[in-house]
């Protein structure tokens, strides 16, 4: 499927790509094939596709998988790939009930990358592997480690839920309309958190507060964000904050495990 064919099919459906939603249609079949290959699908598996659009991925997935479940918000895209093992769900992937699936392979609209990723990695959703297309900058933030300019709250939140692997870079010319940025395929492999902490809710609040002021010393970031931490002030008087682990370090230099130690320190009573 080339750019001319995509434009023609969209015109025939009375549709246009909505740039404000980061909607870019993959037209280079090589990268669709790479995504499917990276997912290593076998003929007994069910694959979820989010936003199938004109179906360049859908047909390839259907040729490999036992079943493809395609979730699509735009009704005029429903049923474009007519194969016995393709089931469409008309709705918003952030709101619909997701049926059981083994793997997920999708070219995600940039505008919903964060909520979709954490819906997939959230409670109640189980799968073996995901291969997702993201904007390059988002992909690099997702996989970043401590000390890098891309490392932040997103990186830590993803790390505690999944193994993240950066795969092929995808040039803007592989899409219609062409975005102003490159994209990248990313493989997500869900796993249990690689460390324990006493209160995961508090851990994520600590991460949020810490990275809100990533260049400050951790102690100062925590002091400035006491209200968001939702811990009784008596447990966080200045003497205790002076003893907080890694208090003189910048959040951007701390590993998720070290931030877990900070969370556990703050979880202590009185």
Confidence band, pLDDT 50/70/90 cuts, at residue 134 = very high
Is the Cα dihedral 184, 175, 117, 77 positive or negative?
negative
**Closest C-alpha to 87, from 129, 37, 48:** 48
Listed in order, strand segments (DSSP E) in the chain are 25-26, 46-50, 67-72, 86-90, 103-107, 129-135, 162-170, 175-176, 183-190
Dist CA 217 CA 146 (whole Å): 15
Dist CA 266 CA 229 (whole Å): 9
CATH of region 3-190? 3.40.50.150
User: What confidence score (pLDDT) does residue 244 get?
Assistant: 92
Bridging pattern class, strands 183-190 and 162-170:
antiparallel
The fold of the 200-266 domain, in CATH, is Helicase, Ruva Protein; domain 3 (1.10.8)
128 against 18, higher pLDDT:
128
Sheet (strand 183-190) strand order: 86-90, 67-72, 46-50, 103-107, 129-135, 183-190, 162-170
Q: Is the peptide bond preceding residue 177 cis, with omega within 30 degrees of 0?
A: yes
Give the start-to-end residue ranges of the domains of the chain. Answer: 3-190, 200-266
**Closest C-alpha to 46, from 72, 68, 71, 79:** 68
Secondary structure of residue 210 in the 3-state scheme: helix
Q: Is the pLDDT of residue 239 over 70?
A: no
How do residues 60-116 score in pLDDT, each as one tens digit? 999 999 999 999 998 888 988 999 999 999 999 999 999 999 999 999 988 899 999
């Amino acid at each position: 499927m080339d750019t001319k064919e995509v434009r023609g099919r969209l015109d025939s459906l009375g549709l246009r790509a909505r740039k404000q939603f980061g909607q870019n249609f993959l037209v280079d079949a090589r990268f669709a094939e790479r995504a499917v290959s990276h997912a290593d699908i076998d003929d007994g598996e069910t694959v979820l596709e989010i936003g199938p659009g004109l179906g360049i991925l859908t047909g390839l997935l259907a040729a490999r998988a036992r079943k493809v479940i395609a979730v699509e918000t735009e009704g005029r895209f429903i049923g474009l790939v007519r194969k016995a093992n393709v089931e469409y769900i008309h709705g918003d992937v952030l709101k619909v009930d997701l049926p059981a699936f083994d793997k997920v392979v999708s070219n995600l609209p940039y505008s919903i990358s964060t909520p979709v990723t954490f819906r997939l990695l959230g409670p109640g959703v189980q799968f073996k592997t995901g291969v997702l297309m993201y904007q390059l900058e988002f992909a690099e933030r997702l996989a970043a480690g401590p000390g890098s300019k891309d490392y932040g709250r997103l990186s830590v939140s993803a790390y505690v839920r999944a193994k993240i692997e950066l795969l092929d870079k995808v040039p803007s010319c592989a899409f219609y309309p062409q975005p102003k940025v490159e994209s990248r395929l990313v493989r997500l492999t869900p796993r249990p958190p690689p460390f324990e902490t006493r209160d995961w809710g508090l851990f994520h609040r600590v991460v949020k507060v810490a990275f809100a002021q990533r260049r400050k010393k951790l102690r100062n970031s925590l002091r400035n964000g006491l209200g968001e931490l939702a811990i009784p002030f008596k447990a966080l008087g200045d003497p205790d904050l002076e003893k907080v682990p890694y208090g003189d370090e910048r959040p951007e230099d701390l590993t998720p495990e070290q931030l877990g130690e900070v969370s556990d320190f703050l979880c202590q009573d009185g």
